[in-house]
């Protein structure tokens, strides 16, 4: 039973999708998805529920067949079930997918054996996801966060080259979430490719090299979080303590687009943060003034709001 080590960065992109379409009945779930994920890249798939993220990822994993378009995963086709490709891919399972009445360690050892992987990976992976002390606990009595970490461990135990994670931090508390970020960064550092879906946009911004925002079965934005935020030209928000300035006075500054009073602050929205800050400093001083630049969340809400016809985020 030999362990398959990642074969390095040389052999072309991890994922290539061209014009991938999928229809369920009269619903077009995916309407021509084209994207490439490079090896070693940390790639986020974002989008509202029902946008087609799950279908897209399941097609990449080889669990579903695309109606049309072409798809290459680590240089091979994932459909039909590709036995040579499967050990090179790791998929976070549902948090229900545990072998009944086994302990966390026994479950993970079973998964390792199903992959034909080195049993030594079991303890290493349990420690990696912070479950070393829960190894002897039955899967039924693990907490929600522990179950989620065990589900993530199932994707890592055989040291795959390409890792698919589905909202991996959804059930985690803030400490466990940050701990998992470290794990994911280390995996990326080791040259693994990670494709993951999330609703935590701060997390996507912190971790992802690039993100694809999927709305109604199509990619509406695809770039690094930084470039997406920069290109959106969303306003910067300057929060001034309300006892220092009135809304009327704030409106008088040149370059201020909008002023609102919010939770003890007067909020100035501007696309010329530099000059406004300078003027503000002269007029009332900058003590206690906070600056909120646009985030990926602003871009996301703008894009998904427009395209789903709902009210864009103010």
Partner 1 sequence: MSAYGALTAASYRASVRDRTTVFFTFAFPLIFLVVFGLIFRGKTVEASGRGYIDYIAPGVLSWGVGNAAVFGVAFTLMQWRRDDLLRLVRMTPTPLTSVLASRYVIALVVGAVQAALFIGVALLPPFGLRLDATWPLALPVLVCGITAFLAIGMVIGSRADTPEAVAAVANCVMVPMAFLSGSFYPLDAMPSWLRSVSKVLPLGYLNDGVAKAVTGRADLASTAVACGGLAVFALVFGVLALKTFRWSNES
Q: Is 5 in the site for partner 1 (CB under 8 A)?
A: no
Residues β-bridged to residue 290: 239
Nearer to partner 1, 91 or 259 (CB): 91
Q: Which stretch, 83-91, 126-134, 184-192, 196-204, contacts partner 1 (CB under 8 A)? A: 83-91
Closest separation in Å from C-beta 161 to partner 1: 14
Q: Which of 175, 217, 185 is nearest to 45 (CA)?
A: 217
Nearer to partner 1, 62 or 225 (CB): 62
Whether 212 and 219 have beta carbons less than 8 Å apart is answered as: yes
Binds partner 1 by CB under 8 A, chosen from 10, 49, 80, 100:
100
Q: Which of 207, 265, 243 is nearest to 44 (CA)?
A: 207
* Inter-CA distances, 260 with 12, 41, 250, 313, Å: 51, 40, 9, 15
Q: Is 180 exposed, middle or buried (0-12, 13-18, 19+ CB in 10 A)?
A: buried
Q: Is 77 in the site for partner 1 (CB under 8 A)?
A: no
Q: Is 99 in the site for partner 1 (CB under 8 A)?
A: yes
The rounded Cα 268 to chain-centroid distance in angstroms is 31
Residues β-bridged to residue 70: 18
Q: Which stretch, 39-47, 111-119, 188-196, 240-248, contacts partner 1 (CB under 8 A)? A: 111-119
Distance CA 245, CA 283 (A): 9
Closest separation in Å from C-beta 49 to partner 1: 17
Whether 61 and 135 have beta carbons less than 8 Å apart is answered as: no
Nearer to partner 1, 63 or 286 (CB): 63
Q: Is 87 in the site for partner 1 (CB under 8 A)?
A: yes
Q: Is 123 in the site for partner 1 (CB under 8 A)?
A: no
- What mask, x for binding partner 1 by CB under 8 A, covers residues 152 to 171? --x-----------------
Chain residues binding partner 1 by CB under 8 A are 61-64, 81, 83-84, 86-87, 89, 91, 93-94, 96-102, 106-107, 109-111, 113-116, 119, 154
């Amino acid at each position: 039973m030999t362990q398959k080590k990642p074969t390095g960065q040389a052999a072309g992109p991890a994922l290539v999708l061209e014009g991938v379409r999928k229809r369920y009945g009269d619903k077009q779930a995916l309407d021509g998805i084209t994207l490439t994920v490079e090896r070693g890249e940390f790639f986020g798939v974002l989008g509202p529920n029902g946008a087609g993220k799950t279908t897209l990822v399941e097609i990449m994993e080889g669990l579903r067949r695309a109606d049309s378009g072409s798809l290459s995963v680590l240089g091979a086709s994932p459909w039909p079930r590709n036995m040579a490709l499967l050990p090179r891919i790791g998929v976070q399972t549902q948090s229900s997918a545990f072998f009944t009445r086994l302990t966390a360690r026994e479950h993970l050892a079973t998964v390792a054996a199903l992959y034909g992987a080195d049993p030594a990976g079991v303890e290493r992976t349990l420690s990696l996801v912070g479950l070393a002390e829960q190894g002897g606990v039955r899967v039924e009595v693990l907490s929600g966060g522990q179950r989620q970490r065990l589900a993530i461990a199932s994707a890592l135990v055989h040291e795959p080259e390409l890792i698919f994670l589905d909202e991996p931090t959804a059930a985690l508390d803030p400490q466990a979430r940050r701990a998992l970020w470290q794990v994911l960064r280390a995996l990326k550092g080791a040259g693994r490719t990670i494709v993951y879906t999330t609703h935590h946009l701060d997390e996507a911004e912190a971790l992802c090299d690039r993100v694809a925002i999927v709305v109604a079965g199509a990619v509406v934005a695809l770039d690094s979080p930084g470039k997406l935020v920069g290109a959106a030209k969303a306003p910067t928000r300057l929060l001034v303590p309300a006892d220092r300035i009135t809304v009327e006075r704030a409106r008088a500054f040149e370059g201020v687009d909008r002023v609102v009073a919010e939770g003890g602050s007067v909020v100035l929205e501007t696309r010329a943060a530099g000059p406004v800050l300078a003027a503000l400093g002269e007029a009332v001083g900058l003590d206690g003034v906070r600056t909120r630049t646009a985030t990926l969340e602003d871009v996301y809400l703008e894009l998904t709001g427009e395209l789903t016809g709902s009210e864009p985020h103010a």
